[in-house]
A = this chain, B = another copy of it.
Amino acid sequence: MKFCSNCGNDVVVAIPSGDHLPRYVCEACGAIHYQNPRLIVGCLAEWQDQILLCRRAIDPRKGFWTLPAGFMENHETMEQAAIRETAEEALAEVETLEPLALVSVPHISQVHFMFRARLQNGRHGAGAESLETRLMHERDIPWAEIAFPSVRYALERFCEDRRKGTSGFHISTWEQTAVR
> Which residues of A are at the interface with B, using a C-beta cutoff of 8 A?
1-8, 11, 18, 21, 24, 33-39, 71-80, 99, 102, 104, 106-107, 109, 111, 128, 169, 171, 173
The answer on a CB contact under 8 Å between B2 and A109 is no
The interface residues of chain B lying within 8 Å CB-to-CB of A111 are 39, 72, 78
Within the complex, the shortest CB–CB distance from A92 to chain B, in Å, comes to 17
The answer on a CB contact under 8 Å between B3 and A169 is no
Q: How far is the CA of A21 from the CA of B75 in the complex (A)?
A: 12
Within the complex, the shortest CB–CB distance from A69 to chain B, in Å, comes to 14
Beta-carbon nearest neighbor of A1 in chain B: B5
Q: How far is the CA of A77 from the CA of B107 in the complex (A)?
A: 9
**Known A18-B128, A39-B111, A169-B169: A6·B6 in contact at CB below 8 Å:** no
**Known A36-B39, A99-B102: A109·B3 in contact at CB below 8 Å:** no
The answer on a CB contact under 8 Å between B7 and A3 is yes
Q: How far is the CA of A72 from the CA of B37 in the complex (A)?
A: 7
